[in-house]
């Protein structure tokens, strides 16, 4: 069976459309995954900056009202984008807990 790749190794227009679509979709997932990791890294950096400010001001690591505000926003964003709110909140709970651990360790 012919591979239907051109000289650059790309699938030609004569290739299997379903396979081409699947490859394109998988590439899109790879790009989204990278963006998610980049955004987590950005969030972690900002959380570290918040921890530094808390240390300087003698504030406690945990701020339950702020945590609740984050969770409320996460739920609202999930609803806006029609994503399972429990899943989104679980992800944010994990991010918050990891940030709190890092804040405690840096004190």
Q: Is the pLDDT of residue 10 over 60?
A: no
Cβ pair 52, 74 in contact under 8 A: no
d(CA 28, CA 75) in angstroms, rounded, equals 25
Per residue in 70-104, pLDDT (tens digit) is 999 999 999 999 999 999 999 999 999 998 888 77
Q: What is the pLDDT of residue 12?
A: 46
d(CA 44, CA 74) in angstroms, rounded, equals 16
Residue whose C-alpha is closest to residue 43's, from 107, 89, 94, 99:
99
Q: What is the pLDDT of residue 61?
A: 86
Residue with tokens 């790879």: 30
Q: Is the pLDDT of residue 9 over 80?
A: no
Per residue in 23-54, pLDDT (tens digit) is 999 999 999 999 999 999 999 999 999 989 98
Domains delineated in the chain: 17-105 (1.20.59.10)
Tokens matching residue 79 = 């609803």
Q: What is the pTM of this model?
A: 0.73
Cβ pair 78, 84 in contact under 8 A: yes
For 40, other C-beta atoms within 10 Å of its C-beta total 13
């Amino acid at each position: 069976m012919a591979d239907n790749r051109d000289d650059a190794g790309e699938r030609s227009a004569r290739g299997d459309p379903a396979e081409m679509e699947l490859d394109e979709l998988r590439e899109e997932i790879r790009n989204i995954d990278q963006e998610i990791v980049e955004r987590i890294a950005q969030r972690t950096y900002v959380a570290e900056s918040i921890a530094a400010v808390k240390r300087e001001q003698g504030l406690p690591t945990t701020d339950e009202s702020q945590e609740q505000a984050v969770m409320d926003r996460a739920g609202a964003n999930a609803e806006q984008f029609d994503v399972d709110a429990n899943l989104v909140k679980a992800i944010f709970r994990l991010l918050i807990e990891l940030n709190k651990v890092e804040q405690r360790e840096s004190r």
